[in-house]
Amino acid sequence: MPESAKPFHIRLLADPGLPTRRVNSIQEDFAAEARKLLNGEVTVSSDTRMLRIRPDATLDIDAVREMEEDHAEADAVIMLTEIPRHSTGHPLISEIFPDHNVAIVSCPTLGAWATKSRIRKVFTGSLLRLLPSGAGRDPEEYDQRWSQWKSTERGEGLGLFAHTITGGPRTVAGMVLGNDPLRAVPKLTSALGAGAATGAFGIFYSSIWQMADALSTTRLVLVGLAAVVTMIFWLVVREGLWDRTKHRSLATVVTLYNGSTAITLLVCILLLYLLLVGVIFLAGLVIIDAEYLATVIGGEVSLLNYLNIAWFSAVMGVFAGAIGSSFDSGADLRRLTHGQRERQREYTESA
């Protein structure tokens, strides 16, 4: 680090949501690492900011210049965004702009596992490449074996690209994590209530008990999966969650958006379905007398019989439309998807 009375200031910016939480979780460790690498006084500050993109989903260099101008007091600016970035057909993990002292890191391209550790390493490698040659340690020590630094398509910066084969699935997994499906489940309380009310009819009708007992385990599982898939399809159509390709250059990105949307909804609906099964199962244990159940199905009764009844009754709740018609907020559902959130970033003709 150049000799100066002024400490080296690193500014961390992050999109709202998961990127902000990740930056907050690594800020202290990253600051300690930066002090060791630069062998001097280093300050690290952070802020939440949404990175704007152009209507074709590409990064406008003006956005980089804006970050440089808005944080002129910083010696280096590192932005963590939830945008799944691509260049030359490869997932783009990080892109540095040495002329502007700015690095932009894409959170989804790092995947869903060990994300905090990976972010810290990518931040450190990007920072070292923003410094003058010879300053700090060798940045290659912080590179992942499944990534490679090379010139970007525009030639305006240097990019860290993920492996072609594993990069796509890793990016989708990272996008699903960024959609926070687990945080969406508590917003589905009205859906759980409506589904439980509809499915509860299965507890009181002996014909449902007989049908659940007659079906094989394989068929019960298939019926449950059919209910989940049907509800996902219904939500996608009703809420307009499926993105269409407007430009051929966006085909890869749109495919990633749609893939992450489908998997996110699958996680949400599957969890809600299992909650319904659990609620109905407990209610069945309380309400259905074992001896009476045995006379109805004509055999011995075990917990598996109660589970089969709960599973089949939950299917009724899903197919009745309780989940699809009772989400607490359509806006909450739409915010689950990357494609819908990215539209908030786009430049408009009047901007």
pLDDT tens for each residue of 109-161:
888 876 788 899 999 999 988 887 656 677 777 777 778 888 776 656 788 88
Work out the pLDDT band at 7, boundaries 50, 70, 90: confident
pLDDT score recorded for residue 4:
47
Please give the Cα distance from 265 to 263 (Å, whole number).
5
Tell me what the mean pLDDT of segment 87-109 comes to.
86
Per DSSP, the three-state class of 148 is strand
Q: Note the pTM of the prediction, 2 decimals.
A: 0.78
For residue 200, give both structure tokens: 């509860």
Task: Give, to the nearest 10 degrees, the angle between helix 303-319 and helix 206-214.
Answer: 110
Please give the Cα distance from 236 to 260 (Å, whole number).
12
Please give the Cα distance from 152 to 146 (Å, whole number).
17
The answer, yes or no, to whether residue 222 has pLDDT greater than 90, is yes
For residue 300, give both structure tokens: 């011995």
Question: Beta strands 102-106 and 76-81: pairing type?
Answer: parallel
Number of H helices, E strands in the chain: 15, 8
The answer, yes or no, to whether residue 347 has pLDDT greater than 50, is no
The answer, yes or no, to whether residue 192 has pLDDT greater than 80, is no
The answer, yes or no, to whether residue 168 has pLDDT greater than 60, is yes
> CA dist 51 to 122, 186, 244, Å?
19, 28, 22
